[in-house]
Amino acid sequence: MPRVSFEHIVKRYGNVTVLDGLNLAVEDGDFLVLLGPSGCGKSTLLNLIAGLQDVTSGRIMIGERDVTELDPKDRGLSMVFQSYALYPTKTVEGNLRFGLSARKLPKAEVNKRVKWAADLLQLQPLMRRKPAALSGGQRQRVAIGRALVKHAEVLLFDEPLSNLDAKLRTEMRLEIKKLHDTLKPTIVYVTHDQIEAMTMATKIAVMNDGEIQQFGTPDDVYENPANLFVASFIGSPAMNLAAATLTVDGGQPLATFADGSAMSLTDAPFDNDVQPDREIMVGMRPEHFVMDATGSAAGHAAFELPVRMVERTGSDALISLDFAGEHLFVRAEPDRAVKIKSGDAVSVHYPIAKLNLFDVQTGQRL
């Protein structure tokens, strides 16, 4: 299965620049999820790989081939569209077969593949129906089947699950993941659903304004966001970001928050050399807080803060603390949360090693 790479891709519509010198490589067998807010250029990127739109400049490689100028049908990939794009006048079987019409395959081979896809996606009972007579989830499976019969080595998905209800989405997520594990194609998958991204991807590329903000494994992107955009975009509930001033006192870095409290950053994970006297953002994930910690523990920052409100979010509860006039969200067990009322003071600890520190000016991770 080939590797897909973009080299210095520029895409303009008239004088609107959507992608400006984008570089990205997907290794073979990778499941790459493109994640980003609406309008950031994800679909554009997929269309460029597929050849459905032309690049303004730059090069697209699939394996060893330069496909930049190639016709869509010659690129050896298949795509599942957000709208499914099934052929309305063809039956399910007709839809699957048409996917193979560009390849001059012997009839037996076509039959074999159609049967294989139908079995895999449990489409057998639906083969004679037209798309209009299918449910959303069934249409989705047909769309995936149509992409799979081609045995393409690269599969493109454009928000394929966005029209489905939560339950079906969970099921389909698992199905697609299973498909990837068994067939091992290279997949590029567009979504703006973070859960999809975190659960399915082997690599995530976070995009904003046509630029790749961060490229890495889901864990990496989640635990070590490269900049403020990624930090605030990834995670639900979002990461707490508290403004502070960074100083160095006797060789020890120290963050001073707006309310005057200070936090020693001696054990903090700095990627670069510490430069004193800057405005920084201290990022803390709600789920890394330790509730009901008393006194002080090594490697932890201690907070004693008043509660603003308590929210129950299904399996979790979220406690909002008042920290220098801002919300500080802390994840808690629901059992524990019911005992907390707004106005109470609670003490929490945060492991210094799990801090995320950003330069306010550049937005980059420190």
Ligand X SMILES: Nc1ncnc2c1ncn2[C@@H]1O[C@H](COP(=O)(O)OP(=O)(O)OP(=O)(O)O)[C@@H](O)[C@H]1O
Q: Where on the chain is the footprint of another protein (CB under 8 A)?
A: 47, 50-52, 71-74, 77-79, 81-90, 98-102, 131-132, 146, 150
Q: How far is the CB of 52 from Mg ion (least distance, A)?
A: 13
Closest-by-Cβ residue to Mg ion is 43
Nearer to ligand X, 175 or 193 (CB): 193
User: What residues from 311 to 350 belong to the interface with Mg ion (CB under 5 A)?
Assistant: none
Report how far residue 194's alpha carbon sits from residue 238's, in angstroms, rounded to the nearest whole number.
11
Nearer to another protein, 82 or 245 (CB): 82
What is the pattern of x (binds Mg ion, CB under 5 A) and - over residues 12-51? -------------------------------x--------
43 binds ligand X (CB under 6 A): yes
39 binds ligand X (CB under 6 A): yes
41 binds, among Mg ion, ligand X, another protein, none (CB under 5 to 8 A by kind): ligand X
Nearer to ligand X, 15 or 315 (CB): 15
269 binds, among ligand X, Mg ion, another protein, none (CB under 5 to 8 A by kind): none
Q: How far is the CB of 208 from ligand X (least distance, A)?
A: 10
Report how far residue 101's alpha carbon sits from residue 111's, in angstroms, rounded to the nearest whole number.
12
Out of 16, 108, 166, 298, point to the residue binding ligand X (CB under 6 A): 16
191 binds Mg ion (CB under 5 A): no
Report how far residue 90's alpha carbon sits from residue 127's, in angstroms, rounded to the nearest whole number.
10
40 binds ligand X (CB under 6 A): yes
Out of 32, 33, 42, 67, point to the residue binding ligand X (CB under 6 A): 42
Q: SS3 string of the chain?
A: CCCEEEEEEEEEECCEEEEEEEEEEECCCCEEEEECCCCCCHHHHHHHHHCCCCCCEEEEEECCEECCCCCHHHCCEEEECCCCCCCCCCCHHHHHHHCCCCCCCCHHHHHHHHHHHHHHCCCHHHCCCCHHHCCHHHHHHHHHHHHHCCCCCEEEEECCCCCCCHHHHHHHHHHHHHHHHHHCCEEEEEECCHHHHHHHCCEEEEEECCEEEEEECHHHHHHCCCEHHHHHHCCCCCCEEEEEEEEEECCEEEEEECCCCEEECCCCCCCCCCCCCEEEEEEECHHHCEECCCCCCCCEEEEEEEEEEEEEECCEEEEEEEECCEEEEEEECHHHHCCCCCCCEEEEEEEHHHCEEEECCCCEEC
Report how far residue 149's alpha carbon sits from residue 179's, in angstroms, rounded to the nearest whole number.
13
192 binds ligand X (CB under 6 A): yes
Contact 307/345 with Cβ under 8 angstroms? yes
Nearer to ligand X, 43 or 356 (CB): 43
16 binds, among ligand X, another protein, Mg ion, none (CB under 5 to 8 A by kind): ligand X
Nearer to ligand X, 143 or 318 (CB): 143
Q: How far is the CB of 75 from another protein (least distance, A)?
A: 8
Task: Point out which span in 20-28, 36-44, 93-101, 250-258 binds ligand X (CB under 6 A).
Answer: 36-44
Report how far residue 289's alpha carbon sits from residue 31's, in angstroms, rounded to the nearest whole number.
31
User: What residues from 220 to 259 belong to the interface with ligand X (CB under 6 A)?
Assistant: none
Among 297, 284, 290, which Cα is nearest to 348's?
A: 290
Q: How far is the CB of 155 from another protein (least distance, A)?
A: 12
Q: How far is the CB of 261 from ligand X (least distance, A)?
A: 40
Contact 280/244 with Cβ under 8 angstroms? yes
55 binds ligand X (CB under 6 A): no
18 binds, among ligand X, another protein, Mg ion, none (CB under 5 to 8 A by kind): ligand X
Nearer to ligand X, 18 or 49 (CB): 18
Contact residues: Mg ion, CB under 5 A:
43
Residues that bind ligand X (CB under 6 A): 13, 16, 18, 36, 38-44, 192
